[in-house]
Amino acid sequence: MNKPMLIGIIILSFTLSVVAQSLQFPSPETYTKENADKFHKTATNGLSPVYAPLAEWLVEKFQLKEKEGIGIDIGGGPGTLSVELARRTNRMFWINADINTFYIPHVFQCAKDADVAHRVGAVFADAQALPFRDHYADLVVSRGSFQFWKDKQLAFSEIYRVLKSGGVAFIGRGFSENLPIEVANQVRSRQTKSGGMPKYDVNDTIKELKIIMLALSINEYAIHRPKSPENENVNYGIWLEFHKK
Ligand SMILES: C[S@@+](CC[C@H](N)C(=O)[O-])C[C@H]1O[C@@H](n2cnc3c(N)ncnc32)[C@H](O)[C@@H]1O
Q: Where are the domains of the chain?
A: 32-243
Is the CB of 43 inside a 6 Å radius of any atom of ligand 1? yes
Instruction: Please determine, for residue 233, whether its predicted confidence score (pLDDT) is greater than 90.
Output: no
99, 72 in Cβ contact below 8 A?
no
The average confidence (pLDDT) of the chain is 92
Instruction: Please determine, for residue 24, whether its predicted confidence score (pLDDT) is greater than 80.
Output: no
Ligand 1 probe mutation, 85, 145, 187, most atoms within 8 A of CB: 145
Share of the chain above pLDDT 90, in %: 83
Ligand 1 probe mutation, 99, 179, 238, 239, most atoms within 8 A of CB: 99
Which atom of ligand 1 has the smallest separation from the CA of 142? 6
Residue 20 has a CB neighbour count (10 Å cut-off) of 12
Is the CB of 205 inside a 6 Å radius of any atom of ligand 1? no
Q: Is domain 32-243 annotated with CATH 3.40.50.150?
A: yes
Ligand 1 probe mutation, 98, 151, 199, most atoms within 8 A of CB: 98
Tell me what pLDDT residue 58 has. 98
For ligand 1, atom 25, which residue shows the shortest CA distance? 100
Residue 195: left if φ>0, alpha if ψ -120 to 50, beta else—which one? Answer: left
Tell me what pLDDT residue 227 has. 87
Tell me what pLDDT residue 12 has. 44
Read off the pLDDT of each residue in 115-133 and give the average, rounded to a whole number: 98
Comparing C-alpha atoms, which of 137, 120, 12 is closest to residue 69?
137
For ligand 1, atom 24, which residue shows the shortest CA distance? 75
Tell me what pLDDT residue 5 has. 58
Burial of 225 (0-12, 13-18, 19+ CB in 10 A): middle
For ligand 1, atom 6, which residue shows the shortest CA distance? 76
Ligand 1 probe mutation, 106, 148, 170, most atoms within 8 A of CB: 148
Report CA(98)–ligand 1 centroid distance (Å): 6
Share of the chain above pLDDT 70, in %: 91
pLDDT per position as a tens digit, 78-98: 999 999 999 999 999 999 999
Is the CB of 80 inside a 6 Å radius of any atom of ligand 1? yes
Report CA(13)–ligand 1 centroid distance (Å): 31
Q: Long-range pairs for 180-187 at CB < 8 Å and ≥24 separation?
A: 180/53, 180/228, 181/228, 181/230, 181/231, 181/234, 183/49, 183/50, 183/53, 184/228, 184/234, 184/236, 185/231, 185/234, 186/49, 187/46, 187/47, 187/49, 187/50
pLDDT per position as a tens digit, 136-177: 999 999 999 999 999 999 999 999 999 999 999 999 999 999
Which atom of ligand 1 has the smallest separation from the CA of 150? 19
